[in-house]
Amino acid sequence: MVHLDETLTMFKELTDARGVSGFEGEAREVMKKYIAPYADEVYTDRLGSLIARKVGQEGGPKVMVAGHLDEIGFMVTQIDDKGYIKFQTLGGWWSQVMLAQRVTIITKKGDITGVIGSKPPHILSPEARKKPVDIKDMFIDIGASSKEEAMEWGVKPGDMVSPYFEFTVMNNEKLLLAKAWDNRIGCAIAIDVLKNLKGENHPNVVYGVGTVQEEVGLRGAKTSAYSVNPDISFSVDVGIAGDTPGVSEKEAAGKLGKGPQIVLYDASMIAHKGLRDFVIETAEELNIPFQYDAMPGGGTDSGAIHVSHGGIPALSIGIATRYIHSHAGILHRDDYDNAVKLVVEVIKRLDQQKVNEIIYG
């Protein structure tokens, strides 16, 4: 039995929390519990993003460190006459990772366990076996015998459906297996950045932010960026790990344990060159390992943040994670620790002169 230290306990509570896009309340409360002791003020914007403000120097540059609270999941849309549940995906799912997976429907009457139904291979034609099942043809089985019984149990259209998976420390204790690393690991980084700045002299006002609805369009990033109006912003998120069989270096260069990823490019933004260069210089000066990443598909909260107000220099920093956008992902504890260290050290060096230099050259 692995002893859960303070950080692992935080990871467990963050990842076990159910908080799919649009239903982030449970995850927000966990983040609030852990970040509040290190903040001067904690509040939410009107869409539900959590904002924790910590003053190093009043009137100093505003630095935002954002991880998104939401995980991919589902929403109940219909209950058929036999009690099976039809659903809408929230976020990007690939059908092959969904069938026969356990889910939890969170209702006003309590939690209902279900499983995404699938046909046994014995009754599939040879042709059907070769094709992935369309998501529109899937359903959730909660063991109800009728629509009335399902509704009596509390299930109704609009309810959140969360993937079910318990946080697990693997045999290699540096490797951590959980649902919702995308992106509770970013929320954890925001928490630990504020924690590590406690008692430190730094010339900034730092905002640790847990954004909502990233997976469905970077929506909370937009509202929280307007609320904070930062001078500099970091989005901390998962990145793609390319160190498993069948993935080429060209497809994904990231590897577990090789340091946080500096995201040069994704479909939502080009990293701000001045900020990117400063972060890399800081990492090299302090011998903090890092790796580069570029993702032609997908994006991060930086995509919405960098075009807020008159433009905000932004950079995304990723933690290489295997099997993202499924029930279970794996990441490396060292990459987390080094990401926290890097962001903290960068913030300590970000005075107004350096911010002006980054922005105006």
> pLDDT digit string (tens) for 16-65?
999 999 999 999 999 999 999 999 999 999 999 999 999 999 999 999 99
Separation of alpha carbons 181 and 170, rounded Å: 15
pLDDT of residue 118: 83
For residues 139 and 219, membership in a common domain is answered with no
pLDDT of residue 253: 87
Kindly report the length of the chain: 361
Averaged pLDDT score across all residues of the chain: 96
Final residue of a structural domain among 163, 190, 225 = 163
For residues 61 and 202, membership in a common domain is answered with yes
For residues 141 and 102, membership in a common domain is answered with yes
For residues 240 and 186, membership in a common domain is answered with yes
Q: Which domain holds residue 335?
A: 6-71+179-360
Assigned domain for 356 exists: yes
Report the DSSP pairing between strands 261-266 and 291-295.
Answer: parallel
For residues 237 and 336, membership in a common domain is answered with yes
Assigned domain for 171 exists: no
Assigned domain for 173 exists: no
pLDDT of residue 164: 98
Q: What percent of the chain has pLDDT over 70?
A: 100
In the structure, what pLDDT confidence band is assigned to residue 215 with cuts at 50, 70 and 90? Answer: very high
Active-site annotation, residues: 214
In the structure, what pLDDT confidence band is assigned to residue 1 with cuts at 50, 70 and 90? Answer: low
Instruction: Enter the tokens of residue 35.
Output: 């970040």
> DSSP letter at 272?
-
Final residue of a structural domain among 111, 136, 163 = 163
Assigned domain for 170 exists: no
Separation of alpha carbons 77 and 93, rounded Å: 17
Assigned domain for 337 exists: yes
Residue 184 has pLDDT above 70, yes or no: yes
Assigned domain for 297 exists: yes
For residues 29 and 78, membership in a common domain is answered with no
Q: Please report the DSSP string for 37-100 in residue order.
A: GG-SEEEE-TT--EEEEEESSTTS-EEEEEEE--B-EEEEEEE-TTS-EEEEEES---GGGTTT
Assigned domain for 279 exists: yes
For residues 229 and 330, membership in a common domain is answered with yes
pLDDT of residue 252: 87
pLDDT of residue 298: 82
Q: At which residue do the structure tokens 């499924």 appear?
A: 326
For residues 285 and 216, membership in a common domain is answered with yes
Residue 314 has pLDDT above 70, yes or no: yes
For residues 192 and 292, membership in a common domain is answered with yes
For residues 245 and 139, membership in a common domain is answered with no
Q: How do residues 146-183 score in pLDDT, each as one tens digit?
A: 999 999 999 999 999 999 999 999 999 999 999 999 99
We report the CATH number of the domain holding residue 78 as 2.40.30.40
Q: Please report the DSSP string for 204-220 in residue order.
A: SEEEEEEES--TTTSHH
For residues 344 and 209, membership in a common domain is answered with yes
Assigned domain for 147 exists: yes
Final residue of a structural domain among 163, 198, 232 = 163
For residues 224 and 351, membership in a common domain is answered with yes
Residue 2 has pLDDT above 80, yes or no: no
In the structure, what pLDDT confidence band is assigned to residue 125 with cuts at 50, 70 and 90? Answer: confident
In the structure, what pLDDT confidence band is assigned to residue 276 with cuts at 50, 70 and 90? Answer: very high
pLDDT of residue 324: 96
pLDDT of residue 250: 83
pLDDT of residue 260: 98
Please count the structural domains in the chain: 2
Q: How do residues 238-259 score in pLDDT, each as one tens digit?
A: 999 999 998 888 888 899 999 9
φ, ψ for residue 69, nearest 5 deg: -75, -30
We report the CATH number of the domain holding residue 18 as 3.40.630.10
Separation of alpha carbons 292 and 270, rounded Å: 13
